[in-house]
Structure 1
Amino acid sequence: MATTTTGALGGSLQLRRRVISHHPMEAAALWTAGFASLFVFFLIPLAFFFGRHYKGRELEKPPLPPSPPSWIPVLGHLHLVKPPVHSALAELSRRHAAPVLLLRLGTRRALVVSSPAAVEECFTANDVAFASRPRSLAGRHLSYDNTTVTTAPYGRLWRDLRRVATVEVLSARRLHGFSPVRSEEVRSLVRRLFVGAGGGGGPPPSSPPAWVKAELSAGVFGLALNVMTRMTAGRRYYGEGPEGTEAARGFQEIVEESLRLRGVTNRWDFLPWLRWVDLRGVERRMRRLRRTRDAFLQRLVDEHRSRRRREKDDGDGERRTAVEVMLSLQESDPGFYTDDIIKSFVVGLLSPGSDTTAGTIEWAMSLLLNHPEAMRTLRAELDEEVEPGGGGRMVEEEDLPRLPFLHAVVQETLRLHPAAPLLVPHESTADCTVGGFHVPRGTVLLVNAWAIHRDPTLWGDDAGEFRPERFL
């Protein structure tokens, strides 16, 4: 009986193999049915389990920050952000009573922070999460693919560049060593203003001279840029002496084009698909400027390298330029401190250290001219502390600790007109919480310093007025 059953079973299996082998569609159907059963009995319960787990974790997260309701597909809130951007963002925060505001700017999320408590939380409790920088088209073309101090993402490169900047180039000892450079450039500017006002060195006039219009913008910009270029590369490109040289003209053209491109609102960072069109030719101009500036800086680096090899000298320890510092580091680690890193370091110093200083000086002069009482108070302080005997001596850096009202004028100027109304953007590399709200990874952080500096709850009802006395 067993033999018969076994034989029958074997015959059945042989018959089934023959059927399957002769009917491939039936075999495919059987395999499909098997996978469907596996999905039903295994994958669906697993997905249900993970779905409940993920939903539970989502419920545990804090809510997202408030956001304006006027959202447009594709554009998001870009239509609400109009120049000046810091003023538009301050108005949005005020309108929605939200010191922490979440915007959708094209393909990017942006967190706008306009309260001191939220800013402190971003840079203390969440300092690591917000340590990186967002990538941009300008950073790619004009900052050597985001490798400057202000554009590099968080990592070894940023840490090394920051260390070199703070310890080797901008340390107190190094800044003190370049004090004569700053003094020379200030005297050069004063001399040009004096000559331009008709003070050519002749006999003193019998009557007080009439008011003379002075072009201060170009002068203070040249002053700030000359100080930075002499600290960075040991050369000056504005003012007396170098104005007519070919190198000076080339450098000035590079600076002017850089400022023009910085003034262009670049929507490619928020709408990347616009790069395919480039209607205004912004990216094309950036590429051209990158090539021109790179060739100029490479010649500068090569000249310094040749001089180091020829003179076999590391330069004056107190007055070593930034290029000389970077070349000495390149000799110890040539794989890391490449020529491109040296050039990006120079770019990262020149731009933030020149137009920001010039803009602050211009605003200070404008505020003093429009507030004669503050101007008289400052002049009285200078007369009393700097030249009590009427000797006509110019202010030196050693006099600054004895000039509290001058410090108050500078601080009040920076409060009303900060050099960077929106601080350099950061980007979150991990989820975090700010002000009790959930901030997803990849969110751009915009700190509105301009709004904080004019907040009546912090500075009083006269927050928009120029009152240096508030800092005394």
Structure 2
Amino acid sequence: MVLAGLLLLLTLLAGAHLLWGRWKLRNLHLPPLVPGFLHLLQPNLPIHLLSLTEKLGPVYRLRLGLQDKLVSQRCQDISLGDYSVLWKAHKKLTRSALLLGTRSSMEPWVEQLTQEFCERMRVQAGAPVTIHKEFSLLTCSIICYLTFGDKVKEDTLVHAFHDCVQDLMKTWDHWSIQILDMVPFLRFFPNPGLWRLKQAIENRDHMVEKQLRLHKESMVAGQWRDMTDYMLQGVGRHRVEEGPGQLLEGHVHMSVVDLFIGGTETTASTLSWAVAFLLHHPEIQRRLQEELDRELSPGASCSRVTYKDRGRLPLLNATIAEVLRLRPVVPLALPHRTTRPTSIFGYDIPEGTVVIPNLQGAHLDETVWEQPHEFRPDRFLEPGANPGALAFGCGARVCLGESLARLELFVVLLRLLQAFTLLPPSAGALPSLQPDPYCGVNLKIQPFQVRLQPRGVEAGLGERQCQ
């Protein structure tokens, strides 16, 4: 009886909230509304949303739930935190740690860890490799080194954080959690998936807190060994000029969480998509290796191409841009919220409206791109080519780790193609280029394997450092 009464009360409250919201919007010229509210159940959601533009135009409304995600019980994270003066200070601190705190060490660390990765792959040469798992461990180790410093030499910590990220991602994507976005009041009922998510978050927080404590115990004022040192000392330096609140250690905690959640699987997935496309297009792979051999040969002016000199490898840059265009790992940009009433295409957009740009939709727009569904890196080599810069989002919530991700994509693909030829595990066994159909808002690649055939002695010539 009590349960039935609670359900009735929740239903009445939800109905009253909906009616009040509609009454406030009665005099506005709003974009067309897509009927229904189970859009999250659609396979390949971004493509489904793109198809709606053919019927409704480029701007429309739909119900996606978008309830607050269970990310932290303390300070908000950067990706989903409310836009405020405190949020901007939090973002500035994290960006400074990435751009200033690790400026001199970022590329050498990525190079070193990538070389070690290639050595591990050489041991498995000729055998089928589940490359996404290897990329995932590599990107997690890079984040570990940048965040916790070169003292992170034991693989146990890298594997522990990798397993933690995998557990969180798997739990978030489970239907028992996804359904809470569509039917929020179900969170008040027993839910094993929600319990597992809370346990995963507690484990994550315990691991991060331990690292913060170790840093505080050994930190030297005015010096920073890694991003965590920089941010912990920056909490006192970055003052919030106006508004309530102040940066706390909890903000550093959530910055570390964002770096691992946003910087591990996203980059690993993009690298995996690149390998899959190159397996389907061996002629592009051959041209890339010819470009590398030409620029990294003993007779070249410099046998090492740094990220600053990436313009020397135009086809590699174009290939990365084309992979990001076709398979942006987060095809629906992070939710934005309007801070004041505005309009677009003649439609009224009220203050507080959640706006989600469909990045993949923009990348597949036939009015902008010729043959948008085709893998054609050469499109970025043409004069006046579209830069295709939307893969990392846009506006205030553009990806903080874009510079790091682009560096990783460049270095890892350069070293991988320099050392190996990518081959399918058997004749005709090519990976699917279709995303996992039920993967939430991420474009996850379906599992596949690849054989890495060493290119021989000449592949190592480019490893010589410039003097």
TM-score for both structures, normalised by structure 2: 0.69
**Residues 1:191 and 2:119 are matched in the alignment:** yes
The corresponding residue for 1:66 is: 32
Following superposition of structure 1 onto structure 2, how do residues 245-324 of structure 1 map, counting pairs within 5 Å? 245=156, 247-265=157-175, 266-279=178-191, 281-308=192-219, 312-316=220-224, 320-324=225-229
CA distance in 2, matches of 1:148, 1:447: 20
Q: CA deviation at 1:407?
A: 0.4
- Structure 1 residues 213 and 374: CA distance shift in structure 2, 3 A: same
Deviations 1:49-83 (A, max 9, x none): xxxxxx9x965x4x211123xx3xxxx33257513
CA distance in 2, matches of 1:155, 1:261: 29
CA distance in 2, matches of 1:363, 1:341: 33
The corresponding residue for 2:47 is: 87
- Structure 1 residues 77 and 330: CA distance shift in structure 2, 3 A: closer
**Residues 1:354 and 2:264 are matched in the alignment:** yes
- Structure 1 residues 98 and 252: CA distance shift in structure 2, 3 A: same
- Structure 1 residues 323 and 79: CA distance shift in structure 2, 3 A: closer
Q: CA deviation at 1:414?
A: 0.4
Q: CA deviation at 1:190?
A: 0.4
**Residues 1:137 and 2:69 are matched in the alignment:** yes
Following superposition of structure 1 onto structure 2, how do residues 378-393 of structure 1 map, counting pairs within 5 Å? 378-387=288-297, 389=299
CA distance in 1, matches of 2:300, 2:99: 35
Does the CA-based 8 Å contact 1:183-1:396 persist in structure 2? no
Q: CA deviation at 1:459?
A: 0.5
CA distance in 1, matches of 2:48, 2:336: 19
Q: CA deviation at 1:447?
A: 1.0
Q: CA deviation at 1:388?
A: 5.2
- Structure 1 residues 81 and 102: CA distance shift in structure 2, 3 A: farther
Does the CA-based 8 Å contact 1:147-1:157 persist in structure 2? no
- Structure 1 residues 418 and 82: CA distance shift in structure 2, 3 A: same
CA distance in 2, matches of 1:235, 1:277: 45
Does the CA-based 8 Å contact 2:221-2:233 persist in structure 1? no
Q: CA deviation at 1:430?
A: 3.7
Does the CA-based 8 Å contact 2:94-2:231 persist in structure 1? no
**Residues 1:161 and 2:90 are matched in the alignment:** yes
AA aligned to 1:186 is: T
The corresponding residue for 1:467 is: 376
Bigger Cα Rg: 1
* Secondary structure class of the residue paired with 2:348: strand
CA distance in 2, matches of 1:415, 1:449: 9
AA aligned to 1:273 is: F
The corresponding residue for 2:60 is: 101
Does the CA-based 8 Å contact 1:226-1:236 persist in structure 2? no
TM-score for both structures, normalised by structure 1: 0.68
Please say which of residues 424-433 and 152-161 is displaced more in the overlay.
424-433
**Residues 1:227 and 2:159 are matched in the alignment:** no
Q: CA deviation at 1:159?
A: 0.8
Q: CA deviation at 1:289?
A: 1.5
Does the CA-based 8 Å contact 2:137-2:159 persist in structure 1? no
CA distance in 1, matches of 2:159, 2:281: 38
Q: CA deviation at 1:458?
A: 1.1
* Secondary structure class of the residue paired with 2:355: strand
Does the CA-based 8 Å contact 2:140-2:162 persist in structure 1? no
Out of 213, 223, 233, the residue aligned to residue 328 of structure 1 is 233
RMSD: 2.8
Identity %: 28
Q: CA deviation at 1:217?
A: 1.1
Q: CA deviation at 1:441?
A: 3.6
CA distance in 2, matches of 1:366, 1:390: 30
Does the CA-based 8 Å contact 1:146-1:153 persist in structure 2? no
CA distance in 1, matches of 2:227, 2:62: 39
* Secondary structure class of the residue paired with 2:356: strand
* Secondary structure class of the residue paired with 2:30: coil
Does the CA-based 8 Å contact 1:186-1:223 persist in structure 2? yes
Q: CA deviation at 1:263?
A: 2.2
- Structure 1 residues 346 and 328: CA distance shift in structure 2, 3 A: same
- Structure 1 residues 455 and 315: CA distance shift in structure 2, 3 A: same
Q: CA deviation at 1:145?
A: 4.9
CA distance in 2, matches of 1:322, 1:172: 9
Q: What are structure 1's unaligned runs of at least 5 residues? A: 1-54, 109-133, 198-210
CA distance in 2, matches of 1:441, 1:270: 23
Q: CA deviation at 1:270?
A: 3.5
Runs of 4 or more above 6 Å deviation: 390-394
